[in-house]
Each structure stands twice: as C-alpha cells, then as structure tokens.
Amino acid sequence: MKNLLTFLVAMLISAGLFAQQGIKSKYFEMRTYTASEGKMPDLIARFQNHTLKIFKKNGIENVAYFISEENPDKTLTFIIGYPDAASRDVLWNKFANSA
C-alpha cells in the first residue's frame, strides 16, 4: 500500500511539473528498455539521433527520459505522451511504420 501511495503522489507531482513544462499530452505511457551488455551507449545514441525526432514527427510527445541509478549500463525508462487514449495506437502505429 505504501508503494501505491508513493506512486500516486509522484504522479500528481509529475502532472504539475508536466503542466509547468508546457506538456500538452493528456495520456501517458511509460516504457523501459533493457540494453544488452555494453550496448547502452548505442541505445542512448539511437534515441538522441533518431527516435526522439521520429516520435515528435509522428505526434508523440517526448516527456521524460531516465537512466536507472541502480543499473545505469542497462536500463532506459521513458515517458511519452499522446493527446488522448484513442490516439495512442494510431500514433504508435504511425511511428512504427515511419522511416
């Protein structure tokens, strides 16, 4: 129960921070990618040089990116946003099929 309460408080604080940063999305998704041994620099470079731009081009809002403090060589967690729940699948499929 304590973890759930901590999570809810963090989400409320984050929602306020997102509004202050000009985040327009109303529906959010958190994803975690785990890099293969020695591949974290490549994963980060891929996001910096390609993925963030392709997300934006396809209407997916880049909200926040985190590298695990406990496992910095393996885990990239990020939050992306969509205008609403209905647009999530449409925009994700548009992203998946873009060059």
| CATH assignment of the domain containing 67 | 3.30.70.100
10 within some domain = no
What values do phi and psi take at 97, rounded to 5? Answer: -100, 5
13 within some domain = no
**Predicted local confidence at residue 99, as pLDDT:** 57
pTM over 0.85: no
2 within some domain = no
**Whether 71 contacts 36, CB under 8 Å:** no
**Predicted local confidence at residue 26, as pLDDT:** 85
Task: Give the range of the structural domain holding residue 38, as residue numbers without chain letter.
Answer: 23-96
Query: What does the block give as tokens for 60?
Result: 């997916």
Mean pLDDT of 53-62: 91
4 within some domain = no
Q: How many CB atoms are closer than 10 A to CB 80?
A: 23
